[in-house]
């Protein structure tokens, strides 16, 4: 039987009871596969890797070694949340690597989007490899592969690529959610007790804020972007839009416009709001945000974020615009 094919008889996990029985089955299967050996996992903080981590912690506890690489392009508070949930609450064996300087130094002056993506992807693997090489006796590599990844023939997730591991490390894959659809992964995550912000997290591109800090990334503009994006998320959550909108974020281009603040000329970057709905990210429509809320968000961003002096709203559907700006 093809272990990468979801059996037709497999029931869709739609309830807590079904999730609990899936968890019980997988805990047994993981224990049988792993025995008393160690398992390595790149924990990005995204839904899939977080659920796999929680499942493995339940099955084999500290035999799981999670590596969280902070590439300096995370949204505000996200690396902190990974540490809080996994290290503090679940008592995981978590290695936290703050590689911000490495990534930002390499990205300095690089304006071309695909080049930025390649640098981020390659450096991610390098940092992960370096951490893996410091460990001994790792026999297994866990991955948050989910069924759509297999259907799209991308069984191995770009940033968590086994191909990127040192050649002398021969690791067997552990992929406990590879036959699940996203909604089922979320259901399992909730049943495992992961917080809603993690389980219902929006999709976030691997290169993170790197593709939203448009053009050549600078630290000051990246900081402004992160703060503006945090305000947008906070206001969407407060106003009931967080559950309604599929993906929403701020992008900050690398040019300034003239403004005025405290009666003085004040040059700043614009913050561009993008809020889209989609089923599969192949096409997307624009969410209507109440004007009163837009005014409030504009006020907050322009008053609270150093370096931003305008707020714009992107009304472009996909096609013709892609969801991300880069």
Interface residues with ligand XMP (CB under 6 A)? 117, 203, 205-207, 247, 281, 318, 322-324
Our separate counts of H helices and E strands in the chain read 10, 11
CA nearest 100: which of 198, 205, 210?
210
Residue for token digits 């939203």?
Answer: 212
CB of 291 to ligand XMP, least distance (A): 26
Question: Which residues contact residue 242 at a Cβ distance below 8 angstroms, ignoring those fewer than 6 apart?
Answer: 233, 236
CB of 47 to ligand XMP, least distance (A): 12
Indicate the residue among 206 and 268 with the shorter CB distance to ligand XMP. Answer: 206
Indicate the residue among 38 and 160 with the shorter CB distance to ligand XMP. Answer: 160
Indicate the residue among 310 and 318 with the shorter CB distance to ligand XMP. Answer: 318
Angle at 164 between CA 160 and CA 168, to 5 degrees: 125
CB of 203 to ligand XMP, least distance (A): 4
Distance CA 194, CA 115 (A): 35
Indicate the residue among 191 and 198 with the shorter CB distance to ligand XMP. Answer: 198
Q: Are 209 and 116 in contact (CB under 8 A)?
A: no
What is the distance of C-alpha 228 from the center of its chain? 18
CB of 290 to ligand XMP, least distance (A): 24
User: Encoding tokens for residue 274?
Assistant: 């993008």
CB of 268 to ligand XMP, least distance (A): 25
CB of 148 to ligand XMP, least distance (A): 12
Question: Which residues contact residue 62 at a Cβ distance below 8 angstroms, ignoring those fewer than 6 apart?
Answer: 92, 93
Indicate the residue among 49 and 302 with the shorter CB distance to ligand XMP. Answer: 49
Indicate the residue among 197 and 324 with the shorter CB distance to ligand XMP. Answer: 324
């Amino acid at each position: 039987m093809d272990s990468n094919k979801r059996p037709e008889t497999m029931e869709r996990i739609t309830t807590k009871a079904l999730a609990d029985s899936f968890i019980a089955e997988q805990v047994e299967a993981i224990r049988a596969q792993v025995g008393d050996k160690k398992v390595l996992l790149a924990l990005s903080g995204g839904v899939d890797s977080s659920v796999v981590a929680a499942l493995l912690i339940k099955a084999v506890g500290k035999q799981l070694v999670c590596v969280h690489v902070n590439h300096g392009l995370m949204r505000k508070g996200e690396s902190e949340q990974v540490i809080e949930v996994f290290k503090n609450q679940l008592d995981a064996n978590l290695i936290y690597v703050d590689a911000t300087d490495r990534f930002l130094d390499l990205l300095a002056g690089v304006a071309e989007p695909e080049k930025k993506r390649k640098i981020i992807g390659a450096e991610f693997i390098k940092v992960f490899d370096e951490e893996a090489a410091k460990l001994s006796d790792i026999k297994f590599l866990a991955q948050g592969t989910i069924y759509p990844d297999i259907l799209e023939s991308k069984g191995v997730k770009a940033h968590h690529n086994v191909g990127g591991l040192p050649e002398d490390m021969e690791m067997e894959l552990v992929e406990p959610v590879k036959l699940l659809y996203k909604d089922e992964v979320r259901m399992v995550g909730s049943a495992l007790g992961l917080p809603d912000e993690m389980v219902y997290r929006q999709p976030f591109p691997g290169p993170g804020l790197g593709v939203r800090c448009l053009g050549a990334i600078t630290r000051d503009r990246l900081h402004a972007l992160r703060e503006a994006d945090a305000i947008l998320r906070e206001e969407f959550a407060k106003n009931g839009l967080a559950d309604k909108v599929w993906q929403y974020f701020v992008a900050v281009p690398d040019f300034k416009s003239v403004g005025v603040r405290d009666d003085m000329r004040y040059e700043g970057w614009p913050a561009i709001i993008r809020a889209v709905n989609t089923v599969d990210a192949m096409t997307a429509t624009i969410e209507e945000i109440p004007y009163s809320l837009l005014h409030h968000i504009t006020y907050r961003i322009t008053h609270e974020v150093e370096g931003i002096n305008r707020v714009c709203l992107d009304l472009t559907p996909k096609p013709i615009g892609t969801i991300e700006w880069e």
